[in-house]
Amino acid sequence: GAPINRARPTFSGVTQDGQTLTATSGTWDGTQPITYGYQWQRCDGAGLNCGKAFPSPPSSSNTYTLTDADLGHTMVAYVTATNAGGSASTHSSVTTTVVTPANTALPSISGTAQEGKTLSESHGSWIPKSPAGYAYQWQDCDASGNACTAIAGATSQNYTATKADVGHTLRVLESATAGGITSAPASSGATGVVKPGTPAPGGSGGGGQGGGGQGGGHGGGPSGGQSGGQGSTTVPAHLNKAKIRRLLLKVLAAKGNAGTIRGVLKHSGYVFSFNAPSPGRLVISWYANTNGKKMLVATVALVFHRSGPAHAVVFLTSSGRSLLSGITTMKLTAKGAFTPAGHGTIRAMKRITLKP
Model confidence pLDDT, tens digit, residues 286-313: 999 988 899 999 999 999 999 999 999 9
User: Do 70 and 163 belong to one domain?
Assistant: no
Q: Look up the CATH number of the domain holding residue 175.
A: 2.60.40.2700
Is there a domain that residue 320 lies in? no
Is there a domain that residue 252 lies in? no
Residue 216 has a pLDDT of 34
Domain boundary among 166, 194, 228: 228
In this structure, are residues 295 and 319 in contact, taking their beta carbons and an 8 Å threshold? yes
Kindly tell me if the per-residue pLDDT of 268 is higher than 80.
yes
Nearest to 243 by CA among 200, 287, 274, 201: 274
Is there a domain that residue 114 lies in? yes
User: Do 68 and 112 belong to one domain?
Assistant: no
Q: What is the mean pLDDT of residues 65-94?
A: 93
Residue 202 has a pLDDT of 57
The 74-83 sheet, strands edge to edge:
54-59, 35-43, 74-83, 86-91
User: Do 149 and 201 belong to one domain?
Assistant: yes
Kindly tell me if the per-residue pLDDT of 146 is higher than 90.
yes
Kindly tell me if the per-residue pLDDT of 220 is higher than 60.
no
Is there a domain that residue 128 lies in? yes
Number of domains in the chain: 2
User: Do 208 and 128 belong to one domain?
Assistant: yes
Report the run of H or E that residue 78 belongs to, with start and end.
strand 74-83
Q: Look up the CATH number of the domain holding residue 19.
A: 2.60.40.10
Is there a domain that residue 239 lies in? no
Q: Are strands 293-304 and 149-151 parallel, antiparallel or unpaired?
A: parallel
Kindly tell me if the per-residue pLDDT of 98 is higher than 90.
no
CA-only gyration radius of the chain, Å: 24
Domain boundary among 25, 59, 91: 91
Is there a domain that residue 73 lies in? yes
Residue 297 has a pLDDT of 96
Kindly tell me if the per-residue pLDDT of 219 is higher than 70.
no
Buried b (16+ CB within 10 A) or exposed e, 176-200: bbbbebbbbbbbbebbebbeebeee
Kindly tell me if the per-residue pLDDT of 169 is higher than 80.
yes
User: Do 84 and 122 belong to one domain?
Assistant: no
Measured CA to CA, the distance from residue 250 to residue 255 in angstroms comes to 8
Domain boundary among 204, 228, 252: 228
In this structure, are residues 174 and 135 in contact, taking their beta carbons and an 8 Å threshold? yes
User: Do 111 and 76 belong to one domain?
Assistant: no
User: Do 135 and 61 belong to one domain?
Assistant: no
User: Do 115 and 219 belong to one domain?
Assistant: yes
Is there a domain that residue 152 lies in? yes
Q: Tell me the pLDDT band of 156, cut-offs 50, 70 and 90.
A: very high
Q: Tell me the pLDDT band of 211, cut-offs 50, 70 and 90.
A: very low
> How high does pLDDT run on average in the chain?
87
Least confident of 6-20, 41-55, 176-190: 41-55
User: Do 123 and 203 belong to one domain?
Assistant: yes
The verdict on whether omega for the bond into residue 57 sits within 30 degrees of 0, i.e. cis, is yes
Q: Read off the pLDDT of residues 25-65 as tens digits, 9 standing for 90 and up.
A: 999 999 999 999 999 999 887 777 888 889 988 999 999 99
User: Do 112 and 214 belong to one domain?
Assistant: yes
Other C-beta atoms lying within 10 Å of the C-beta of residue 310:
29
Residue 66 has a pLDDT of 95
Query: What percentage of the chain carries pLDDT values higher than 90?
Result: 70
Is there a domain that residue 352 lies in? no
User: Do 204 and 224 belong to one domain?
Assistant: yes
| Prediction pTM value | 0.79
Kindly tell me if the per-residue pLDDT of 325 is higher than 50.
yes
Write the DSSP symbol of residue 192.
P
User: Do 55 and 167 belong to one domain?
Assistant: no
The parent domain of residue 21 ranges over: 4-91
Measured CA to CA, the distance from residue 175 to residue 163 in angstroms comes to 27
